[in-house]
Amino acid sequence: MTEPPMADLQSQNYIRRSASTLTPPSVRNHEDEVAKLIDVTRCIGCKACQAACMEWNDLRAPVGTFEGTYDNPLDLDPHTWTLMRFTEYENEQGNLEWLIRKDGCMHCEDPGCLKACPAPGAIVQYANGIVDFISENCIGCGYCVKGCPFDIPRISPVDHKAYKCTLCSDRVAVGLEPACVKACPTGAILFGSKKDMTDWAGERIVDLKSRGFENAGLYDPPGVDGTHVMYVLHHADKPSIYAGLPENPKISATVEFWKGLIKPVALAGIAASAVVGFLHWVITGPNEVQPEDEKEAERVLAAEREKRGSENPYIGGGPA
């Protein structure tokens, strides 16, 4: 292999590996689940996290244009693994709120991308919960895009590999916090064990409720068995106002079916038809032309020749 193995340095603590029928190496199980907590209520939308992600991962999207929003680039792309999304929202009291959400991979406990991925080891999940794309195994099919309930992965039109936030698995593996966390000036992004982050979110929610945000809450959607990137929201009852954060994300039923039941059934069906054919062969044998058939055919042809005159070269005659 010419490429160096990317990020696969953690292969011994996989707990999930895409398209793998055998148990992946997973000896290191004594590991805390991690989580990145994004406190939307203290985020000032400065994009330091976005810049840090670009710096650490050496990503540079093309210089775009202004399109009537502070969202820049306008969408996630292979060079933009995280993106601040700004929403001007008028609340029930008629007061304006400017909701700023850091979009990016949620690192689902039950990752739809991984479920959908057909390439063994192209998507893995470590024991700490991080969902990572291992580019050298990626075939560029884009199934992860369809599998993801959050519309996160993007396929590069250049190298045809899927890209998304790695939760800085390379940094986390050596005991550093993700680059975006380090850069955040307001402490709106925190990183730690999932438990600590959940507890801290609890404190934040108490504070927010005391400030009149009755529906403040933690976004850790159960539909994907929770995520390793969580949000503190002022309006946890309405996640979709935060630039379309899914209300109740789960792996689409279509994907579940496509990647679930039909696989074994289909393969069984294919195998069954082959087996039935074979049995038919064994039981009945080939259907061969009998000498009588040739005779009968010759009889008909002879009669026809008689009718039309033997000179007709075509009936049972020579080369066409």
Partner 1 sequence: MTRPKGTLIRNPTLIRINHWITAACFVLLMLSGLSMFDPLLFWLSNLFGGGQWTRAVHPWIGIVLVVSYAGMVVQFWRDNLWTKDDSAWIRAIDRVLANKEEEAVPEVARFNAGQKFVFWSMALLIPILLFTGLLAWEVYFGTASSIETQRAALLIHSLAAIAAIIIWIIHVYAAIWVRGSMRAMTQGYVTPGWAWRHHRKWFRSLAATGSSGPRPHVDSSETRK
Partner 2 sequence: MTNTWQDIKNANLVIVMGGNAAEAHPCGFKWVVEAKIENGAKLVVVDPRFTRTASVADYYAPIRPGTDIAFLLGVIRYLLEKDKIQHEYVRAYSNAGLIVKDGFGFEDGLFSGYDHEKGDYDKSSWDYELDEQGFAKVDDTWQHPRCVMSLLRAHVARYTPEMVSRICGTPQDKYLNICEMIADTSAPDKAMTSLFALGWTQHSVGSQNIRAMAMVQLLLGNIGVAGGGMNALRGHSNIQGLTDVGLLSNLMPGYMTLPADHEVTFDDYMKTRQFKPLRPGQTSYWQNYRKFFVSFQKSMFGDAAKAENNWAYDWLPKLDIPLYDIIKAFEMMNQGEMNGYICQGFNPQQAFPDRGKIRRGLSKLKFLVTMDPLDTETSRFWENFGPQNPADSATIQTEVLQLPTTCFAEEDGSLVNSARWLQWHWKAAEPPGQAKSDIWIMSQLFHRIRELYRKEGGAFPDPILNLTWNYTDPTEPASAELAKDMNGRARVDIKDASGAVVLKAGQLLDTFAQLRDDGTTDSGCWIFTGCYTEKGNQMARRDASDPREQGIAPNWAWAWPANRRILYNRASADLAGNPWNPQKPVIQWDSTKWVGIDVPDYGPTVKPSESVGPFIMNAEGTARLFARDQMVEGPFPEHYEPLESPVSNILHPKVSANPAARVFADDRKAFGSPSEFPYVATTYRLTEHFHFWTKHALINAILQPEEFIEIGEVLAQEKGIAQGSWVRVASKRGHVVCKAYVTKRIKPLSVDGKSTHVIGVPLHWGFTGQARKGYGANTLTPSVGDANSQTPEFKAFLVNVESVNGPEV
Question: Residues in the site for ligand SF4, rule: CB under 6 A?
Answer: 18, 43-49, 52-53, 56-57, 81-82, 84, 102, 104-108, 111-113, 116-117, 119, 122-123, 131, 133, 138-144, 148, 150, 152-153, 155, 162, 164-168, 178-180, 183-184, 186, 188-189
Q: Which residue from 9, 70, 160, 207 is in contact with partner 1, where contact means CB under 8 A?
A: 160
- Strand arrangement of the beta sheet that strand 217-219 belongs to: 189-193, 34-39, 229-233, 217-219
Give the nearest distance from C-beta 95 to partner 2 in angstroms. Answer: 8
SS3 (DSSP) at 254? helix
Could you give the C-alpha distances from 12 to 19, 60, 227, in angstroms and in order? 17, 31, 22
Which tokens sit at 275? 């087996």
The residue whose two tokens read 């039923």 is 253
Q: Which two tokens stand for residue 78?
A: 């292979």
| Six token digits for residue 316 | 């049972």
Residue carrying the six token digits 């009149």: 212
- The order of strands in the sheet holding 131-133 is 14-17, 123-126, 131-133
Residue 16 CB contacts under 8 Å (≥ 6 apart), including other chains: 24, 111, 114, 123, 124, 125
User: 142 or 192: whose CB is closer to partner 1?
Assistant: 142
- E strand or H helix at 90: strand 82-90
DSSP for 150-164 reads T---EE-TTT--EE-
Task: Compare residues 254 and 312 and give the one whose CB is closer to ligand SF4.
Answer: 254
CB of 291 to partner 1, least distance (A): 8
Tell me the closest approach of the beta carbon of residue 297 to ligand HEM, in angstroms. 16
| Closest separation in Å from C-beta 68 to partner 1 | 20
CB 274, min distance to ligand SF4, A: 28
Report whether 260 belongs to an annotated binding site. no
Phi, psi of 266 (to 5 degrees): -65, -45
Residue 248 as a binder of partner 1 (CB under 8 A): the answer is no
Is 14 among the annotated ligand-binding positions? no
Both tokens of 315, joined, read: 């009936």
Instruction: Choose between 171 and 250: whose C-beta lies nearer to partner 1.
Output: 250
Q: Quote the CA–CA distance of 16 and 123 in Å, as a whole number.
A: 8
To 5 degrees, how large is the angle CA 105–CA 110–CA 114? 70
Q: Footprint of ligand HEM on residues 112-141 (CB under 6 A)?
A: 118, 141
**Closer residue to partner 1 in complex, CB, 128/135:** 135
Cβ proximity to ligand HEM: between 74 and 141 the closer is 141
Looking up tokens 């496509």 gives 258
The residue among 109 and 177 lying less far from partner 2, judged by its C-beta, is 177
- Binding to ligand HEM by residue 260, rule CB under 6 A? no
CA-based angle 154:108:125, to the nearest 5? 85
Is 60 marked within a binding site?
Answer: no
Residue 165 interacting entry, from ligand HEM, ligand SF4, partner 2, none, C-beta within 5 to 8 Å by type: ligand SF4
Other beta carbons less than 10 A from residue 281's beta carbon: 10
Chain residues that interact with partner 2, rule: CB under 8 A? 41-48, 50-51, 54-55, 60-70, 72-73, 88, 90, 95-100, 185-188, 204, 207, 210-211
Q: Which does residue 60 bind out of partner 2, ligand SF4, ligand HEM, none, counting CB within 5 to 8 angstroms by kind?
A: partner 2
Among candidates 100, 56, 107, 54, which has minimal Cα distance to 77?
54
Binding region: 43, 46, 49, 53, 105, 108, 113, 117, 138, 141, 144, 148, 165, 168, 180, 184
Which chain residues interact with ligand HEM by CB under 6 A? Answer: 118, 141
Which chain residues interact with partner 1 by CB under 8 A? Answer: 19-21, 118-120, 137-143, 145-146, 151, 155, 157, 160, 252, 254-255, 257-258, 262-263, 266-267, 269-270, 273-274, 277, 280-281, 284-291, 293-298, 300-301, 304, 308, 312, 314-320
